[in-house]
A and B are shown apart, each in its own frame.
Chain A
Amino acid sequence: DTAVSQTPKYLVTQMGNDKSIKCEQNLGHDTMYWYKQDSKKFLKIMFSYNNKELIINETVPNRFSPKSPDKAHLNLHINSLELGDSAVYFCASSVGGGNQPQHFGDGTRLSIL
């Protein structure tokens, strides 16, 4: 009965490759997010989708392309991976509008060799 689930949990790959991370929520929320947590634990929002529509795009390189096929899913595709992309990526969801609490997945640890 996991609320926000991400796959894979770990992702190890080489520079230049393309990879995807998937996220699904079963909370009935209509807003989903991607956050990046760097090696110093700093969390920064990357994208936010409300009802499949992109709401927030925080000056993320266009190598990162989110895709929301429906309200319950938000995937993240990354092209031409770079060393600096190594981080933990968190998916989250909330009820849209206002500042409702966000529910986080357990994260995907991406390591670039």
Chain B
Amino acid sequence: AQSVTQPDIHITVSEGASLELRCNYSYGATPYLFWYVQSPGQGLQLLLKYFSGDTLVQGIKGFEAEFKRSQSSFNLRKPSVHWSDAAEYFCAVGAGGGGNKLTFGTGTQLKVEL
């Protein structure tokens, strides 16, 4: 069965600082990986996805993520954080096949200090 681990429950960074959110997955085949962001009271918005090909993927809002098969990781990065990036971030892995089931990590809450 697939699973996702986000080791950091909370992260605080200063505005303008760089950011890296960790994600480790467990899946028997080639994973389909996603990062979503959830602002308070809102639904989840897709930041980026990895299916195959280039292991460094670019997303919206200046985010990028790197797929490392050897480490079973898909960490999210941003070179310079803005106060509006404060939100909950979820990593997810897709199972493929019918149903398109997504398994989510427990999320990382990002706080940005001005």
Contact = CB atoms under 8 A, between A and B. Distances in A.
Contacts, number: 64
B28 interface: no
A100 B106 CA distance: 21
B32 to A, nearest CB: 4
A101 B106 CA distance: 19
Nearest to A54: B99
A110 to B, nearest CB: 14
A48 to B, nearest CB: 5
A45 B44 contact: no
B43 A107 contact: yes
A105 interface: yes
Contact of A98 (B36, B46, B100): B100
Chain B residues touching A, range: 20 to 34
B92 to A, nearest CB: 8
A38 B84 CA distance: 24
Contacts of B49: 101
A55 interface: yes
Given A56-B99, A96-B100, 4 more contacts: A31-B100, A41-B106, A41-B107, A45-B102
Interface of B: 32, 34, 36, 38, 41-46, 49, 51, 88, 90, 94-96, 98-104, 106-107, 109
Interface of A: 4, 31, 33, 40-45, 48, 50, 55-56, 90, 92, 94, 96-107
